[in-house]
Each structure stands twice: as C-alpha cells, then as structure tokens.
C-alpha cells in the first residue's frame, strides 16, 4: 500500500487586531490564531471503483480538526496577505508535533486498510 498524504489548511480564524505579550509589545492585524485542518491519505495502488467517465478512483480516508497557534510573540509575524499554504501547514505540523502527525497518518492508513479488507459488510435482505 503506497499512501500519499495531502494537507488542507486553507480555513483559518484570525484576530482583526492582536497585541502580543512581549516587551515592547507588537500589535498586528489579521493574526491567524486557529487553523481548521484536514489530512487526506490516498492509496494510489488500489482502485476503489471506476467513475462514470472511466477514471479510476482510489481508496482514501481523512482526519480533520482544528488547532490553536501560539500568538504570544509576533516579532516574526507574517502578514495575512503574504501567507502561503506551506507556511500554515508548517505551523500546524509544528503545533501538533511529529508524534501526533504520525498518529493521524497511522489512523488514515488503518481506515484505508479496513476499506480494502473489511471485517464487516452491511447487506440488504431481499435485494
């Protein structure tokens, strides 16, 4: 099973204006303090089904949540207009820590494995 992972970190919550706790204090606008994230894994070696246009659709699973960011020091602040998805993804991964990121990937792997080799299948009688 070869699983690739893709982050979606495009939805964020911001403070219109925020002053940090440094001395001297830094005040900035549109400070990202919370990120709504989704981590999707796709197994590109096992086809789940073929869509109506003949395209293969691969098994996938995802996990999602939100995570707060430390905004107590804005001395290296990046303005909202200059933010890139890669910046926010790095913040999310740093806030989670490597162990939690790996736990999420392990969960996705297990979900995909269960889809490929289910231990239980729902059926309808009389159909």
56-107 pLDDT per residue, tens? 889 999 999 999 999 999 999 999 999 999 999 999 999 999 999 999 999 9
What is the rounded average pLDDT of the residues 23-36?
Answer: 96
Please list, residue by residue across 12-45, b when 16 or more beta carbons sit within 10 angstroms of its beta carbon and e when fewer do. beeeeebebeeeeeeebeebbeebebebbbbbee
pLDDT recorded at residue 49 = 85
pLDDT recorded at residue 1 = 64
pLDDT recorded at residue 15 = 97
Q: How many CB atoms lie within 10 A of CB 55?
A: 9
Alpha carbon of residue 44 to chain centroid? 19
Q: How many CB atoms lie within 10 A of CB 91?
A: 20
pLDDT recorded at residue 56 = 87
- Tokens 């289910």, residue located: 118
pLDDT recorded at residue 113 = 93
Predicted TM-score of the model (pTM):
0.86
Q: What percent of the chain is predicted at pLDDT more than 70?
A: 98
pLDDT recorded at residue 47 = 87
Q: Is the pLDDT of residue 17 over 70?
A: yes
Residue 23, token pair as written in the block: 């001395």
d(CA 105, CA 39): 8
Given a contact cutoff of 8 angstroms between Cβ atoms, the answer to whether 27 and 3 are in contact is no
């Amino acid at each position: 099973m070869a699983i690739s992972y893709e982050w979606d970190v495009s939805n964020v919550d911001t403070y219109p204006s925020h002053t940090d706790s440094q001395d001297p204090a830094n005040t900035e606008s549109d400070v990202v303090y919370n990120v709504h994230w989704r981590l999707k894994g796709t197994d590109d070696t096992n086809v789940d089904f073929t869509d109506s246009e003949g395209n293969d659709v691969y098994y996938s699973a995802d996990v999602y949540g939100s995570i707060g960011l430390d905004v107590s020091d804005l001395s290296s602040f990046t303005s909202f207009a200059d933010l890139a998805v890669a910046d926010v993804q790095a913040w999310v991964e740093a806030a989670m820590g490597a162990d939690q990121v790996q736990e999420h990937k392990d969960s996705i792997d297990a979900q995909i494995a269960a889809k490929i080799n289910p231990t239980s299948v729902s059926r309808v009688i009389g159909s």
